């Protein structure tokens, strides 16, 4: 009578132990697979993003800023029309007259690319 109980508890213990080992190996493998492509902590300590990354306190005060360049976001409404028109004239004079792509401009670019080889 005691022997079958020991066999049942032994089987349950074995299944739980093997399951725990399997889960641990799986978690370790996932960490290893994803971790091998991550940058080292030394390179992260020297990280300088091109745009500003700001660190805020709980109260909303800026603690620190990290950036290689001082780029600031400006909403489109705050940009003067003369600056917008200057960019549009330099980039795409037909900006307001096509649906997002300029067929004539694309054809012109293809012709120029074919001519230049």
Convert the pLDDT of each residue in 74-108 to its tens digit. Answer: 898 999 999 988 888 877 777 777 787 888 888 99
Q: Is the pTM of this model over 0.85?
A: no
Taking alpha carbons only, the member of 114, 92, 116, 117 closest to residue 104 is: 92
- Give the model confidence (pLDDT) of 18-45 as tens digits: 999 999 999 999 999 998 888 888 887 7
pLDDT above 80 for 116? yes
How high is the pLDDT of residue 76?
Answer: 87
In sequence order, what E strands does the chain have? 53-56, 62-66
Q: What pLDDT, on the 0 to 100 scale, is given for residue 26?
A: 98
Are the C-beta atoms of residues 38 and 47 closer than 8 Å to each other?
no
Distance separating alpha carbons of residues 76 and 56, to the nearest angstrom: 25
């Amino acid at each position: 009578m005691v022997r079958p109980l020991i066999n049942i508890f032994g089987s349950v213990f074995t299944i739980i132990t093997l399951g725990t080992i399997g889960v641990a190996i799986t978690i370790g493998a996932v960490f290893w697979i994803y971790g091998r492509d991550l940058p080292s902590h030394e390179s992260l300590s020297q990280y300088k993003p091109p745009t500003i990354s700001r660190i805020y306190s709980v109260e909303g005060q800026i603690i620190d800023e990290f950036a290689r360049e001082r780029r600031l976001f400006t909403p489109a409404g705050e940009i003067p029309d003369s600056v917008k028109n200057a960019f549009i004239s330099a980039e795409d004079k037909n900006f307001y007259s096509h649906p997002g792509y300029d067929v004539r401009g694309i054809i012109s670019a293809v012709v120029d690319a074919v001519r230049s080889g």
